[in-house]
Structure 1
Amino acid sequence: MDRSLYIAMSGAKQTLLAQAANANNLANSQTVAFKSDLQQFRSMPVFGPGYPTRVYAMTERPGTDLTPGVIQTTGRNLDVAIKGDGWIAVQGRNGQEAYTRAGDFRLTTTGLLQTGTGLPVLGNDGPIAIPPADKLEIGRDGTISIIPLGDNAATLVEVDRIRLVKPPLDKLEKLNNGELHLKKGEPPLKPDASVTLVQGALEGSNVNTIDALVQVIELARNFELQVKAMQTTDENSAAAAKLMKMA
């Protein structure tokens, strides 16, 4: 009895974890360039002293869906989208280089170029800082040019160039804070001139809301099944104890 109860209990717990991951995907269906997490269930033996006669259900994130989202035109000069393969290098919260396709840039009061989530965008020599300007343009190759404040329209000055890279997708991993980093031991990436940008556009989330909603229903039914299995196991245990008393 304890085996079936343990399996059902662990199954219910892992179903709730999978539901949380799926709910996170669904909540980010409108987040710029969000990449959905994948989940899968499998059985895992309980190892310890002696032979592993017990198993438990386990949910895990085998990876992240890195397929691009749909590009939408915004017309905003600080919005950029990557056309095709490639990533924008930013400074992660841990100070290390991270990668994103979210090009919803903004300028701080000190002129620092950041993503919509507040991560500094990296250029040739670190985080990009832009002086006050009447106009700002971002070229297809990531070059940032401005017309300095007070200068005439013919004065176009190149400030910096956004660091664009193209790492192999199997070398990237998504951390718990949602940032994409190179896996440990991988060499630093060099800028890739083949990565191009589209100014005045943003990449949308790659979450399929219909599939996510279907998963919500499937996981809810699975949780109900596990709870029912625990109730059945408890009833069988009570019936077996009653029969032993009669004997």
Structure 2
Amino acid sequence: MDRSVYVAMTGATQIMRAQDEVAHNLANANTTGFKAELSAFQSLPVQGDGMQTRINGVAQGTGWDTTAGAQMQTGNDLDVSVQGDGWIAVQGADGNEGYTRAGNLRINADGLLTDARGNAVMGGGGPITIPQASSVKIGSDGTISVVPLGESPATIATTDRIKLVNPGNDQLTYGSDSLMHMKDGSTPQADANVRVASGAIESSNVNPSDVLVKMISLSREFEMQVRSIKTADENAQSASKLLQVG
């Protein structure tokens, strides 16, 4: 009896963990540039003394979905969408370099170019600062051109170039700051072959319909595990009564 309770209990616990990840993906279905996290259940033996007669069904992350999201035209000069493989380099809250495909950029009160989360966008020599200008344009190679405030439209100055990298998706891992980071902690060099489209952003690659179906399926599996625990408890009570009668 105790084994059936243990199996059902561990199964319910892992299903709850998997449900958390599914809920996280669903919550980011409208987040620009978001990549869905992937997970799967794996059978792992329980470690400890004695024979390995018990197996845990463990929900483990298997990576993230590399599929590109849909292109959405915005007409905003500061919006950029990475075309094909590649990432925008930003400075995370811890000061380390991270990578994102969320190209809905903005200029803060200090003239710093940031992403929507406030992370500074990296350029050739560090975080990019935009001088006061009447217009800002971003080229396909990430070059930032501005018309200084008070100057004619014919006066165009290049201020910096967004650092675009392409280290390979297999070299990246999700960080707790919602940015991608290099698995080995290194800092890749800018890749001149990465291109961006101005006036557009990349949507999340989460399919809400698929995620909802998975969420319902996990909920039913959780209910089944709870019923198994109740059944095991009822069997234990029945066995106790039989022993008392004997």
Matched, 1:188 2:187: yes
Matches within 5 A, 1:14-33: 14-33=14-33
Q: How many angstroms does 1:49 deviate by? A: 2.4
Q: Deviations over 1:96-139 (max 9, x none)?
A: 11100010001011100000011110000000000000111100
What percent of counterpart residues are identical?
48
Instruction: Indicate the residue corresponding to 1:149 in structure 2.
Output: 149
Instruction: Indicate the residue corresponding to 1:102 in structure 2.
Output: 102
Q: How many angstroms does 1:243 deviate by? A: 2.1
Matches within 5 A, 1:1-247: 1-184=1-184, 187-247=186-246
TM-score (norm: length of structure 1): 0.96
Equivalents in 2 of 1:42, 1:166: separation in Å? 31
Q: Deviations over 1:122-159 (max 9, x none)?
A: 00000000000011110000000101011111111000
Consecutive unaligned residues in structure 2, runs of 5 or more: none
Structural RMSD (CA): 1.1
SS for the counterpart of 2:64 is coil
Q: How many angstroms does 1:51 deviate by? A: 2.5
SS for the counterpart of 2:205 is coil
SS for the counterpart of 2:38 is coil
TM-score (norm: length of structure 2): 0.97
Consecutive unaligned residues in structure 1, runs of 5 or more: none
Number of equivalences: 246
Equivalents in 1 of 2:43, 2:81: separation in Å? 41
SS for the counterpart of 1:117 is coil
SS for the counterpart of 2:158 is strand
Q: Deviations over 1:203-243 (max 9, x none)?
A: 00000111001011101100110001101111111122222
Counterpart of 1:77, as a letter, is D
Moved over 4 A (4+): none
Equivalents in 2 of 1:219, 1:155: separation in Å? 59
